[in-house]
Amino acid sequence: MSIFDGITLFSLVAAALWTVMTRSLLRSAIGLALTSAILTVIMFRLNSPLAAVFELSVCSGLISVLFVSVISLTHPLTIQEVIQHMKERMARFWVLPFLVIAIGITLILFNIKPEIRLPAPETVKDVRVVMWNLRQVDVMGQIIILLTGAFGVVVLFKERIKK
Amino acid sequence: MHLFWSFSLFIIMVFVIGLYCIFVSYNLIRILIGVEVLIKAATLLIIVAGYITGREALAQSMVITLIVIEVVVVTVAVGVMLGIRSINNSLDARRIKSLKG
């Protein structure tokens, strides 16, 4: 693992930590997009460019837009509520950075060297061939899941309009 | 240090962050963000496993499937959240206890 990989992995953990710990929901959504963007860089480094592009466009783009949309539909807190909320959050979340550091140090101390049994080498190297020829059931499943999601949203919003 | 173990260290850290967020948060949006962070850890694990075993193409197809599922889960969850908010006028998970059924 190169120094650049180490830096990106540290950045990933830092971005995830910031996403979870920041008070503002909007900043959380932006932090999530940042986490996805850093993950994209790691994916490119690990020879997975197509998945990286999907991650960047869908997770860093579409999902962030969804989060920002739903945050904009919620009403803002009053100043007193914000102060109360900050105190509660600090009480609940101050442990997390120490917990993450402690877990990291513990795992480094263990220094496990897993013996991975490598499977037979892959004969097909092109992701398009794998996707469309070898994993057709996955593609069918994706289509069904997308349709389920679309119909689910239609039903949910239909219910809301009736009420 | 073994490459897989080096990456696993960080994957476990990200996983713990997401899990902690889910357990500790009361806001439904923040809980969903915790789930997203968990999914990021799972995605990275699949990519690293594909890289080490030399099966990048299979790993990429798996990750693309995972991303599609992730989007659908987030979209439906957001719809459910908006429904809950219209009923309770709040996104606090503690107030969902009063729901019937």
pLDDT > 90? residue B44: yes
Task: Say which residue, B42 or B98, is predicted with more confidence.
Answer: B42
Q: What are the residue boundaries of the structural domains of chain A, listed by start?
A: 3-121
Note whether B34 and A129 are within 8 A (CB): no
pLDDT > 90? residue B101: no
ipTM of the complex model = 0.90
Chain B environment of A127 (Cβ under 8 Å):
56-57, 60-61
Where residue A139 falls among pLDDT bands split at 50, 70, 90?
Answer: confident
DSSP tag of A59: I
Distance (Å, whole) CA A134 – CA A128: 9
Q: If you measure CA to CA, which chain B residue comes closest to A37?
A: B40
Question: Chain B contact for A7, CB < 8 A?
Answer: no
Closest partner residue to B57 among A111, A124, A156, by Cβ? A124
Residue B38, classed as helix, strand or coil, is helix
Check CB contact under 8 Å for A160 and B82. yes
Distance from CA of B29 to the nearest CA of A (A): 8
- pLDDT of A121 reads 67
Distance (Å, whole) CA A146 – CA B75: 10
Residue among B14, B58, B74 at smallest CA distance from A50: B58
Distance (Å, whole) CA B28 – CA B36: 12
For residue range B79-94, list pLDDT tens digits in order.
Answer: 888 888 888 777 887 8
Distance (Å, whole) CA A70 – CA A9: 29
B-contacting residues in A 84-143 (Cβ below 8 Å): 92-93, 96, 99-100, 103-104, 107-108, 111-114, 116, 118-119, 121-122, 124-127, 129-131, 135, 138, 141-142
Check CB contact under 8 Å for A39 and B85. no
Question: At CB < 8 A and 24+ separation, what contacts does A99-102 make?
Answer: A99/B16, A99/B20, A100/A13, A100/A17, A100/B13, A100/B16, A100/B17
Q: If you measure CA to CA, which chain B residue comes closest to A29?
A: B33
The CATH class of B2-90 is: mainly alpha
Quick one: which H or E segment has residue B47?
helix B28-53
Note whether B43 and B15 are within 8 A (CB): no
Check CB contact under 8 Å for A36 and B40. yes
Distance (Å, whole) CA A35 – CA A42: 11
Confidence (pTM): 0.86
In the predicted model, what is the mean pLDDT of chain A?
84
| Amino acid found at A127 | V
CA angle centred on B13, ends B8 and B18, rounded to 5°: 125
Which two structure tokens, joined as six digits, stand for B67? 């991303």
Check CB contact under 8 Å for B29 and A67. yes
Mean pLDDT of A114-121: 68
Q: What are the residue boundaries of the structural domains of chain B, listed by start?
A: 2-90
Picking from B8, B27, B71, B92 by the largest number of A CB atoms within 10 A of its own CB, the best residue to mutate is B71
Q: If you measure CA to CA, which chain B residue comes closest to A42?
A: B44
Distance (Å, whole) CA B54 – CA A123: 10
Instruction: Tell me yes or no: is domain A3-121 CATH 1.20.120.1200.
Output: yes
Mean pLDDT of B63-76: 92
